[in-house]
Structure 1
Amino acid sequence: MRSQKEERKVLLILALVFGVIVLATSWMPFINNASGVLALVAFLLGIIALIVNRKNKKMLTLISVAISVISFVIVLISQPIYGAVLNDASDSYKGSTAKVSSSKKKKLTNLETLNALAKKSKSTNELYVTDKIKVGQDGDVMPGIYDLQITGGSGNITGERSSTFSGLYINWLGSSLDSGNIEYPSTIRVVLFEGDTLEFTDISKVKFTAVSSTVKNNNKLGIGNYVVGRDIEPGTYKLDTNATMDPEFENLGWEISIYNIDTDNSKEQNYNPGNTDVVVKLKEGEIITTNFYNTQYDASGDTAKLIFTEVKQ
């Protein structure tokens, strides 16, 4: 059997070994969780060794106790630090994941954007024109796609687009049905964006009627703004018209502008008695703006249509 002296030495050695192991591992992430428990064990063994060896030299025992205490303190200090690092890493991961998720969101095409705009349209009652008409949440009419009806007066329709769509011009002549100027259209298709303004000269009353969010494609367009892919299919077309154009006025007829949202630029084209061989290429999401200078004063501007005949290439 072991002597009491040997047993006391075993206690001292265990306390010292445990203390050294704890000191060596107390700074290591995750492992120091177990080190904290081992430090308590080493401390208890050291205390027992002190009691058992109270009549002998206690230097090594005191060292083992000191080591266990120091190790436990290191564990307590390091735990919050590693916890903070883990939290930062977790937050960083979540943030990067959110960014990746956000970047994966599909960007709307121009056509999808314009179709979404159509869904925001909200018809108005008849409006008296006393100032510029503003488009927006706090304006006179919501952004959207409308048939603008002139219900009083006859004159010019101009305006300014928001800076985002500055290349899409506003410039038409319009007239109410009872004004006597039937050569001007009484209804004009308009695409209106947040921040646009409309200005009317010699026109006293107007009404905005929301166009259905879904429309059938048509190769005969009237006067106003029309969306490629919504009102007419993309493609290459030769232009024609059902309206009579007086050859005496060879520069008067249809004006066409094809607006690209991405570049904020427009391509201009004319179809008139002096220029009848006209072909245009239309891309999805572009906005066509049409205007007709009617030289037949007894013909209605509302019935004038610009006809697009597809060219096979």
Structure 2
Amino acid sequence: MAWSRVCLKGALFLTWLLLGAAILGGVFPWLERLQPTACPAIRLKWFRGMARILGLRLEVRGEPESGPALVPCNHISWLDVLVLGTQVPVTFVAKNEVADWPLMGFLARRSGTLFVTRGNLRATAGLVRAVGVRLQAGDKVVVFPEGTTTRGETVLPFSTAVFQAVHETAVPVQPVGLRYRGKAARCAPFIGEDDFLSSLVRVLSLRIVPATVVWCRPLPASEQRQALAKHARKYILAGLAAADGNHAPLEPRRLRMDELAALSESGIELVGVPPPGVGHGGGRDSAVVGAAEVFMYFQRQSGRVF
């Protein structure tokens, strides 16, 4: 690891965070009264400055539509916020824990981020109302309806609750897909028990952080929230697949018995899945049941599908 790069970029990262905190805490309260239209442009410049510090190199496909919209996005890392923040002025929805993060929590609160306590029905209902208010005010609101982060190899099913705000306000839904490239595909994901400092060091160690942003075509608000969530996810999968040059979306699918046998013969170990012909109960039928729980993903490191 290039520790000189980590230290230099880390110092710039912290300095830029402090500058953002000073602007939000000292300048914005005054500016919001005198010239509120200047605030979104300043936030956009701050995001783009931070992107340069971290070495973000973005390939952007499509473009955000003008006017208010709900923007559902697949979720990989805390970097997602910085990537989308460089595109257009937006309001983010984040889990409640982010509000307590040192410094970054202050920035999120002062920039108008909406927070939600996951698993709390009353809090979710309040979030839907708050998102509706922002949409009616003309904002673009970014949500991460997977409810968690992934490695970016696929897109998990979307929670439907927040899409109710679109159904009530009649604004469109414009899905957006994210994908990190090269070494960043391994270093950027912020998943499981990962802590922010370790994740930050991994990102700072990279010379550049290449990423693809895919703005999909908007969905009309006339559909029910379940259909909106389903179609938004499919649009993201298709957009990312097209950006990758694949003919089919990166959908998970279950292994057939012949595929399981081929993988076993090639030496690939499938943890938690019985060998062909053995199964949990010793018979072929139970082996099929065990294999049915295996997901297939595109593995970029080897270029194979398994």
Q: TM tier, shorter chain?
A: under 0.3
Bigger share in helix: 2
Tell me which of the two structures has the higher relative contact order, counting C-alpha pairs closer than 8 angstroms and 6 or more residues apart.
2
| Structure of larger gyration radius | 1
- TM-score after normalising by structure 1: 0.22
Bigger share in strand: 1
- TM-score after normalising by structure 2: 0.23
